[in-house]
Amino acid sequence: MPEPSPSVSAAPTDPAPGAIAVTSPPSAAPPKPVLTAQEIAALVERGRALFDAGDLAAARLFFRRAANAGDAAAALAMGSTYDPDVLSKRFVRGIGANAEEARIWYERAREMGSPEGKGRLETLLAHR
């Protein structure tokens, strides 16, 4: 009859005196999706086509993905899908405008280097 193999204890061992314990840093925000410039351009283009067709929910999916990959134009476009002024000029009804959400996306666009982001923020805040 074979002898049972020795059991391995999962209990942690005490570090040697004077040893420094190394721990992993807390998990940071998830990394940005890695997309090529061509993929980002395609996402933004498709988002614009959907926005122009009035499908804001679908447009937001494409703009969000490109914006989360670091594209300022996509963040700006994302803001416009929430901007009450933009939506009223397009005669969009039945889908909620959200000035606060627009502000957040316009600020992101500005932080990403969009010169238009600052202007959109000022216009949005002036109409509150």
Residues in the chain: 128
- pLDDT tens, position by position, 72-89: 999 999 999 999 989 988
Q: Which amino acid is at 19?
A: A
Predicted TM-score of the model (pTM): 0.71
Asked if 58 and 50 touch (Cβ cutoff 8 Å), the reply is yes
Residues of the chain with pLDDT under 70: 1-33, 93-94, 128
Q: Which residue has the tokens 């204890």?
A: 9
- pLDDT tens, position by position, 25-34: 445 555 555 8
Query: Which pLDDT belongs to residue 3?
Result: 55
